[in-house]
Amino acid sequence: MGALNNIEALNQALDQMMEKDEKIVIYGEDAGFEGGVFRATKGLQAKYGKDRCFDSPLTEAAIIGTGIGMAINGMKPVLEIQFQGFLFPGLNQLLVHGARFRNRSRGRFTVPMVVRMPYGGGIRALEHHSESIEAILAHTPGLKVVIPSNPYDTKGLMISAIKDPDPVVFLEPKRIYRAFKQEVPEELYEVPIGKARILKEGNDITVVGWGAMIPEIQSAVKDLEEEGISVELIDLRTISPIDKEAIENSVKKTGRFLVVHEAVKSFGVGAELISIVNEKAFLHLECPPTRLTGYDITIPLAKGEGYFMINPEKIKSKVKELINY
């Protein structure tokens, strides 16, 4: 077992799966020779050759379109979209074709494809490199949407995503690509898609987050615990399908619910989770289920990004507001 950061864990998962399964191919802009702009696919072309790991042209629609074709014909494409903001030209392929094949062919074809991409803010980049569009993807039936928050889950979820028979969008919070390390088992293991993880048990309030929000929440929780507030922290890990049971059980125990995400507020995953809480645990609530999110604006450039992003102070303040409701 070695201590790896998120990008290393991802690289290890891709490497080990390519070694195991010859049908896996990896491609995307700069994904081959350069190993991706964040080096997620570093060394894979050298090890497995240009036929299995290669650079694609600057054409997201073709990356995803060809991936779908390969997948329904028996290959296992793992595609890289350089930044999530570049996904939009490929959305037609992904949402209109990739996500629907199983349904429209009445189960005859499935699309065992992974589309991975860095997403989220906090690195002082441009807006198309920084936004969070998990809600757009999760709103589409037929797509699975996964977001890891730590190296252990990154490796385990990627392995599960590759093995999954349906298209999985693997969103990588780039802000924490290299922000910390964690002991990660050497062997292949799976973290199940659709299962949240209770990172810390508590009694007073349930706080749910994912991706780069988790370290921010953990930092807030540490301070809140010192003030005597017992927080149950859940890392959602999979945005679609959502682990409703984990949310329901936790809120029934704590009576309070806060969802934290960096994506804009309206029509987001936070609203979906609050609906689940209202449907499943309404009578247990001691305060309104609440979301702490980014603002309803295009994510600001470097200078203003700090105002937009969620930080531990914002989380602490919101938790206290709900505890004292």
Partner 1 sequence: MFEFKFADIGEGIHQGKVIDCFFKIGDAVEEGDSLFLVETDKVNAEIPSPANGIITAINFEVNDIINVGDVVVVIDDNNSANLIETVIEEKKEEAEEEKGASVVGEVTVSNELIPSFSTKEKKEKIIRKKSLATPVARRMAKDLKIDINEVRGSGLNGRVMKDDIQNFHNLNNKTEEVKAEITKSIASESCDNIREEMSEVRKAIFKATSISKKEIPHTTLFDDIDLEKLVKLKEELSEETGIKLTYMPFIMKAVYLGIKKYPIFNSTIDGEEIVYKKQVNLGVAVDTDYGLVVPVLKDLSTLSIIEISEKLKDLGDRAKNKKLSMKDITGGTFTVSNFGKFARAGTPIIKHPEVAILGVGRINKQAVIVDSEIQIRSILPISLSVDHRIIDGADGGRFSEEIRSYLENPKLLLLS
Per CB under 8 A, residues contacting partner 1 are 1, 3, 5, 37-39, 83, 123-126, 129-130, 150, 152-153, 174-185, 189, 195, 197-198, 201, 203, 215, 249, 252-255, 282-286
Identify the residue whose tokens are 């399908």. 241
Sign of CA dihedral 116, 121, 127, 133: positive
Q: How many CB atoms lie within 10 A of CB 267?
A: 13
Q: Which is nearer to partner 1, 223 or 248 (CB)?
A: 248
Smallest gap from Cβ 300 to partner 1, in A, equals: 14
Q: How many CB atoms lie within 10 A of CB 284?
A: 15
Smallest gap from Cβ 13 to partner 1, in A, equals: 15
How far is C-alpha 35 from the geometric centre of its chain's CA atoms? Answer: 21
Give me the amino acid identity at 279: E
Q: How many residues in the chain?
A: 325
Smallest gap from Cβ 56 to partner 1, in A, equals: 16
Smallest gap from Cβ 139 to partner 1, in A, equals: 27
List 97, 128, 129, 261, catalytic entry = 129
Q: Which is nearer to partner 1, 101 or 177 (CB)?
A: 177
Rg (CA), the chain: 19
Q: Which is nearer to partner 1, 253 or 265 (CB)?
A: 253
Q: Which is nearer to partner 1, 153 or 166 (CB)?
A: 153
Smallest gap from Cβ 197 to partner 1, in A, equals: 7
List Cα–Cα distances, 203 to 112, 195, 274, in angstroms. Answer: 40, 21, 19
Residue 128 appears among annotated catalytic residues: no
Smallest gap from Cβ 111 to partner 1, in A, equals: 28
Q: Which is nearer to partner 1, 80 or 153 (CB)?
A: 153
How far is C-alpha 100 from the geometric centre of its chain's CA atoms? Answer: 21
Nearest to 151 by CA among 112, 191, 207: 191
Peptide bond into 57 cis (omega under 30): no
Q: Which is nearer to partner 1, 126 or 297 (CB)?
A: 126
Identify the residue whose tokens are 């709103």. 139
Across the strands, what pairs with 115? 79, 169
Q: What's the DSSP call for residue 296? A: S
Q: 268: Cβ–Cβ under 8 A, 6 or more apart, which residues?
A: 135, 261, 291, 293
Smallest gap from Cβ 187 to partner 1, in A, equals: 10
Q: Which is nearer to partner 1, 142 or 289 (CB)?
A: 289
Q: What's the DSSP call for residue 283? A: G
What's the CA gap between 107 and 124, in Å, rounded? 43
What's the CA gap between 78 and 32, in Å, rounded? 12
Q: What's the DSSP call for residue 176? A: G
What's the CA gap between 173 and 175, in Å, rounded? 6
Which residues are identified as catalytic?
129
